[in-house]
Structure 1
C-alpha cells in the first residue's frame, strides 16, 4: 500500500507524514483487521462458487482490495464512491496494466523533461491523460465529500470512526490535517494502495499454483498454527514468512523509483562494475538535481545477495541462510519493496503485521 506523503518535500512532507502515521500504528492497524477479515471471507466465497475452469483472480482481488482500502482508510464501502469514480478507477488500472513498449518508453522520457514541458505534455488530448485528470477530479470530489461528512458528524457529537480519514478529520486530534491536505489523499490511496496489494497477492497465488507441494506444506502450517484460535501468530510460522519474503523479493510492487539528488555527492557501490573501457568502477559521482533510478527489482535478483538461483521462486532460501547476511538494506528482510528512509511506505504495517 502506498500513500501520497511521498509527493511532499521538506517540512511539508514531515507534517503530512506525521499525521498519516496515526493511521498506521499497531493499534490502528489492529482496528482494520475486522474489515480485512470480512473482505477475505467474501473472496473465498466467490472463489468457491466459481466453476473449475480458469479464473481471473486479478479482477476479483482488485475489487476486493478497493473495498478493503475504502473501509479502512475512508470509512465507507466502495458503493459510496459512486459509479463514475469506480468506473474511472477501473479504467486507470486497465490502461496502466496494458501499456505498450512505446508507452513505457514515452513515460520514461517524459519524466525526465523540464517541469514546464511536463506541464504542457500532461494536457495533451490522449486517453490516458484524460482518464488521469478525470480520476484526480473525482478523487478530490469524493475526498471532499467524505471529509465534510466526517466533520459534520463530529460537530453533532457523534463518535469518530476508526478509519484513517476519521482520525485525520477529527478536530480533537492533534494530528488533524487541513482539508486541502487531506482531500487529495483519497484518490491516490484508492489507486496506489489497491493495485500494489492486488499485484503482490496475485503473484503469490501464481507461485502457489505452480508449486502445489509447497502450497500443501504452507496450508498445513497455517492450520496447525491456527488450531482453535481465531487469530494467527505470524511470527510462529516460518514457512509463511519465507513465502511472503520470497514473493516480495521476486515481485516488488514498484520495480523501480526515481530519486532527485539534493546536493553534489558520490554514491559508493557495494560491488564494482566494469566500464566500457574495462576499468572497475567503485563509486558514481552525481550532481544536484540529477535523477537517480533505484532499480529495486534488479537488486532483489542479484546472485551475490540472494544465492545462485535469484530468478527462481525458492522460499527455502530464507530458511537455510542462503540469503546475504551483511549490512541491512530497506526496512524489512534486506528488501527494498517498501522503499526506505523517510519515504518508507506507510502501508508496511498493514502488509506485514508486526513490522514497524
Structure 2
C-alpha cells in the first residue's frame, strides 16, 4: 500500500518517499516488489544451498551476499541504497539536532535513537554501522508488515460486504458521538468491537509447544488467516524437553507427547498451520470469520511495544479507509498467497508481474 510508505517515514526520519504523488525516489524503487521478485519460487539448488549454510564457517558465509543470484542482487541493492540514505539522514540529524533544557526534544524515531545512544554507557553505544543497519531494517520491516496485513484485510472485507457494512455502521455510530471535526483517540479505536474483531486474534504460540515464544496475546483475525510470516525459525540455546499440548503421530507411527530438543538444534514453527488447526479454531478454521473474536475482544488484553504500534497503525488506517470507501473483488480475478519471506498477494497466472491486490474501489454514498 502506497499510503503505508507515505505517512510513517516523515514522522520517523523526516524522509519522503513520494509514493502518492508519483515521484518515487531511488529508495522507494529499491523496495518495490522486493520480496516477491527476490524470494518467490526459488530454484531447488537455492533451497539446498541455504540448507547447507549451517555448515559454512561464519567468515565465509559473509561473502554469500555477493553471489550474483536474483535474490542477493535485489537485497544487496536495497542495502546499498538504504545505507546511503540513512547516512545522509544521520548527517543531517547530527548537524541540526540541538537538545538543550530550553528546547523541546523531538520525538521522531531518529531523535529518540540519538538521545538514547548518547546517554548510554560508551561501551553499549551503537556504532555508525549498527545505527545505519537498524535504520535500514526499520525502513523495510516497518513497511512490509503493515502493507501486507492491510492488503489482506481489505481483500477479505471486499469478499465479505456484510462485514464491511457492519464495520462502517460501527464507525459512523462512534463518529456521531464525537464533536464535529474531532479525531478518533486510541481509546475510541479500541472501543470499535467488531472492527477490532477483524484485526485482533489470539496468537498463542505457546499452545503449540508450550513455548513462550511471543509475549503477545492479540493481533488479528486477518493475521490468523493471512499471517505475515508463514513460519518462524528458532535455535535452542540448551537441551530441553517440551511438552506438547496435543499428542503427535510421527512419520514412523509413534505417538509422542513431548519433544526432545537438543542445544543448537534448529526448528521451524508453522504459523500458517497452527492458525488453521480445526482442533484450535473450530470447524470454520479455513474461513475468515471476525465473529469468533468478539468474545475475546471483551477481555482486557494488553499489547506492548512495537506490536501495540502495529495494531494502532492498522486500526487508524482501516477506520479512515472504511469510512470513506467501499471495496469489492473484480470478477475473474483469483488472488494467491505466495510465501516470499512475507506472505505476498499475487494474481493467479500473473506471478511474474509481482505483488498485486486488484480491488474495485468506490466512494461511500
TM-score class normalised by the smaller sequence: 0.5 to 0.7
Which of 116, 119, 138 matches 2:81? 138
* Separation of aligned partners in 1, 2:66 and 2:307: 34
Find out whether 1:236 has 2:191 as its counterpart: yes
* Separation of aligned partners in 2, 1:268 and 1:331: 26
Report the Cα offset of residue 282 of structure 1.
Answer: 0.9
* Separation of aligned partners in 1, 2:10 and 2:117: 22
Q: Compare the two structures and name the one with the higher helix fraction.
A: 1
Matches within 5 A, 1:130-279: 130-155=73-98, 160-170=105-115, 174=119, 177-227=126-176, 228=178, 229-232=182-185, 233-245=188-200, 246-279=221-254
Report the Cα offset of residue 171 of structure 1.
Answer: 7.2
Which of 303, 306, 322 matches 1:347? 306
Report the Cα offset of residue 72 of structure 1.
Answer: 3.0
Per the alignment, do residues 107 and 213 of structure 1 end up closer, same or farther by CA in structure 2, a change over 3 Å counting? farther
Find out whether 1:76 has 2:10 as its counterpart: no
Task: Check the 8 A contact 1:168/1:177 in 2, yes or no.
Answer: no
Unaligned runs of 5+ in 1: 1-60, 333-343
Find out whether 1:289 has 2:242 as its counterpart: no
When normalised by structure 1's length, the TM-score is: 0.68
Unaligned runs of 5+ in 2: 201-220, 314-365
Residues 196-217 of structure 1: CA distance to partner in whole angstroms, max 9, x if unpaired?
Answer: 1111001100100100011101
Give the match for residue 312 of structure 1: 287
Residues 270-325 of structure 1: CA distance to partner in whole angstroms, max 9, x if unpaired?
Answer: 1100123432111111111111112122111122221221110011111257x9x9
Report the Cα offset of residue 97 of structure 1.
Answer: 6.4
* Separation of aligned partners in 2, 1:75 and 1:160: 15
Per the alignment, do residues 102 and 184 of structure 1 end up closer, same or farther by CA in structure 2, a change over 3 Å counting? same
Task: Check the 8 A contact 2:38/2:74 in 1, yes or no.
Answer: no
Give the match for residue 348 of structure 2: none
* Separation of aligned partners in 2, 1:124 and 1:293: 26
Task: Check the 8 A contact 1:142/1:186 in 2, yes or no.
Answer: no
Q: Compare the two structures and name the one with the higher strand fraction.
A: 2
Per the alignment, do residues 94 and 173 of structure 1 end up closer, same or farther by CA in structure 2, a change over 3 Å counting? same
Give the match for residue 71 of structure 2: 128
Task: Check the 8 A contact 2:117/2:126 in 1, yes or no.
Answer: no
Per the alignment, do residues 139 and 160 of structure 1 end up closer, same or farther by CA in structure 2, a change over 3 Å counting? farther
Find out whether 1:119 has 2:62 as its counterpart: yes
When normalised by structure 2's length, the TM-score is: 0.66
Task: Check the 8 A contact 1:272/1:281 in 2, yes or no.
Answer: yes
Per the alignment, do residues 278 and 67 of structure 1 end up closer, same or farther by CA in structure 2, a change over 3 Å counting? same
Which of 75, 87, 100 matches 2:29? 87
* Separation of aligned partners in 2, 1:178 and 1:118: 23
Residues 220-255 of structure 1: CA distance to partner in whole angstroms, max 9, x if unpaired?
Answer: 001111223421512322101111021121111112
Report the Cα offset of residue 84 of structure 1.
Answer: 2.4
* Separation of aligned partners in 2, 1:172 and 1:257: 30
Task: Check the 8 A contact 1:151/1:170 in 2, yes or no.
Answer: no
Q: Secondary structure at the match of 2:241?
A: strand
